Structure 1
C-alpha cells in the first residue's frame, strides 16, 4: 500500500477502473469483479459521473449506479476507497464544466447514484479552460466542509492550469489537489513525463495513471489493427499499430514468454516500478482477467527488463 500524496488514503498497488461497469461488464459481472478484486486486497475503485456514457443506450452514470447498488447490497462502503470525477458533459460532445454551479449539482447526482454520503477522492475530470481555478477550488472547499468530499484530485489538466491551481491553493488557503491522474502507459508516455511529472514530484502529488493497458493494446490480445475491427476498443486502438507499437509488443512478448506471465502483468508492473507513479488504474471485464493483476503484484521486473521496455517505448 502507498500513501496518496499528502492524504491519509492508502492506495493498493493497482486501482480498479470502474469505466467497464455498465459498458463491457454488465451488472452481474461487475458485482463478481468487485467481490474478487476486494478479496485480492484491491480496495480502491476509480469511476466518473459520465462512465459509461459511450455504450449504446447509455446516458452516463451507469458505472456509479452499479457501484452504488453493490455498496448497498454488500454493506461494505467503509472497506472501499471511492474515487469519482466531475467536469465532463453527460451529453456526447457536450461542453466541459468545472464551475461552482455545475460541481455543486454534479456531486449530489454522484452521491445519489453511489448511494453514499461522501466521496474519498473527487477529481476534476477535464478542464473547461475558462472557469477561474479559485472558483473550482472554492466549490471543493464547500464540499469538504460539508463532509461530502474528503480529498480532491485533478485529471487531464495542462501544466499551466495545474500550476495555477496549486498556487491558488497556497495563496487563498483553498484545498489542494493531492492526486494527479494522467494518461500514462508504455504507449503514451509524453502526456505525463516531463513538466507534469516534475510538478507532481515538486508538490508531492500522488499519481494514478489511467489507460494503463492502453485499452487492451498492451495485453497482447490484438496483434494487428484488423483484430480490433468491430470491437468496443476499436476507436481507442486505431493509432497504436505503428512501428513503435509493434516494438513494444515484441518486448512484452519476449518477457512474457521468458517469465511465463501475461503481457498485461508486465505492462502494469512497468508502471508500478516507475518512482513517480503511486498506482496504475486498470480494469477488467471478466473475472479471469484479474489473473494479470495478481501476477503484477507478485513479481518484479529486472533492471534489464525495465531498460528494454523503456527503450522500445521511447
Structure 2
C-alpha cells in the first residue's frame, strides 16, 4: 500500500489511520486483538489512541485502549512496525478540566509509555488546549522527552487558530519543538472546524492533517437514517444530531456515488477526505471485520471531479 507523508514530520502512514478509541469501549481485549491483527495484515499500521480512551459509563479505567495496544504489540513483537499515536492533556474524567501544564503532561507521557509498554511514542498530541496555560509549557515538557528519544514528533488537536499559530511562533522564538501534525474534527457533516484559518495555518506551515470523526461517528456509513436506527447504539449521543435535511441530502449523494462505484457509503466518505486539499490521512474506526472493507475500498477508489463536486456542494449547504 502506498504511504503518505504526515507533513514535514518524516512519518509515513497508510492513507487511513485506525482510531483506537474502540479498544476497551465497543471492543473487548480479545476482539481488539483480532481487529489489530486484521489491520496489520491489510497494511494499516498507524494507530491513533489517547490516555482517556476507555468506557467511562461502565467504570472501565482510562487508558484501557493504550493498555490493549501495548499488550498486543508486545505479544506480537510488532512495535517497530507500528506508527503509534497517542494524546494527553484531556481530563481523565468526563467533562473535567483540560490541563496542559508541564507537570501534568510530563506525568501523562510517562503513564502512556508505561501502558503502551514501549520506549517511545512516534507522535504525541496535546489533546485539547486548556486555553490558559502558556503554550510553551507543553512544548517544554515535550522537549525533555524528545531529547531522551521517548517522543519522536508532536502534534496538536482541537486548538483554535489563534492558539495554534501562537504555539508555532513560540516554538520558533524560543527554540522549542514545534507541532508538526494537526488533528481536527473534519468530515462531510462538519467542515467549519478545519476549513478556513486552521487549514491556512496548516498549509502555510506544512503541518500534516489527520482528521478524526471522519465518518461523523458512523452517520456517514448510511446505517442511520431515522431516530429509531440509533436506539440502543453507542454512537447515538454523537451522531443523531446529523439527522436533518442537510444530513439526508449528503446521505443521498453518498448513495448515488457509492452505487456508481460499487463501494460502500463509508468508502466514499473516506475517499472524499483522502482527496481533500490539506488532508494527509483521515482517522477511522471499525468494530467488525466487514467494516474494514470500506478502508480498502476508500484507498483504491478513484473519485472523479464530478463526484467530488457533488459532495462538496451538498455538504456546503
Q: Specify whether residues 55 and 289 from structure 1 end up closer, same or farther in structure 2 by C-alpha distance, changes over 3 A only.
A: farther
Residue 55 of structure 1 and its aligned partner are, at CA, apart by: 4.2
One of 176, 179, 195 as aligned partner of 1:177: 179
Contact 1:87–1:97 (CA under 8 A) maintained in structure 2: yes
**2 CA distance for matches of 1:190 and 1:135?**
28
CA distance, structure 1, for counterparts of residue 11 and residue 133 of structure 2: 28
Q: Is it true that 1:97 corresponds to 2:136 in the alignment?
A: no
Question: Can you list the C-alpha shifts for 1:51-72, whole angstroms capped at 9, x where unaligned?
Answer: 0243422221110010011011
Equivalent position of 1:237 in the other structure? 239
1:65 aligns with 2:80: no
Question: Is contact 1:21–1:52 with CA below 8 Å preserved after alignment?
Answer: yes
Q: In structure 2, do the counterparts of structure 1 residues 291 and 233 end up closer, same or farther at CA, with 3 Å as the change threshold?
A: same
Partner in structure 2 of residue 86 of structure 1: 88
Classify the secondary structure of the residue corresponding to 2:242: coil
Instruction: Indicate the SS of the match to 2:93.
Output: coil
**Superposed displacement of residue 92, structure 1:** 1.8
Aligned mates of 2:60, 2:313 — CA distance in 1: 41
2:27 match: 25
**Distance in structure 1 (CA, Å) of the matches to 2:35 and 2:57:** 19
Give the secondary-structure state (helix, strand or coil) at the position aligned to 1:313. Answer: helix
**Structure 2 unaligned blocks of 5 or more:** none
1:146 aligns with 2:148: yes
Residue 131 of structure 2 corresponds to 129
Structure 1 runs of 4+ with >3 Å offset: none
* 1:145-192 CA-partner distances (Å, limit 9, x unpaired): 121100000000000000100000110000010000000000000000
Residue 250 of structure 1 pairs with residue 252 of structure 2: yes
CA distance in 2, matches of 1:287, 1:115: 26
**101, 105, 111: which is aligned to 1:109?**
111
Distance in structure 2 (CA, Å) of the matches to 1:161 and 1:237: 28
What's 1:293 paired with? Answer: 295
Question: Deviations along 1:213-243, whole A, 9 cap, x unmatched?
Answer: 0110000111112210221001001210111
- Residue 196 of structure 2 is matched in structure 1 by 194
TM-score (norm 2): 0.97
Find the residue that maps to 2:180 and give its secondary structure: strand
Q: Which residue of 2 aligns with 1:215?
A: 217
Aligned length: 314
Across the aligned residues of Structure 1 and Structure 2, the Cα RMSD in angstroms comes to 0.9
Secondary structure of 2:91 counterpart: coil
What residue in structure 2 maps to residue 10 of structure 1?
Answer: 12
CA separation in 2, counterparts of 1:107 and 1:55? 25
C-alpha deviation, 1:258, in angstroms: 2.0
TM-score (norm 1): 0.98
Provide structure 1 residue ranges, at least 5 long, that are not aligned to the other structure.
Answer: none
Q: Is the 8 A contact 1:53 1:61 kept in 2?
A: no
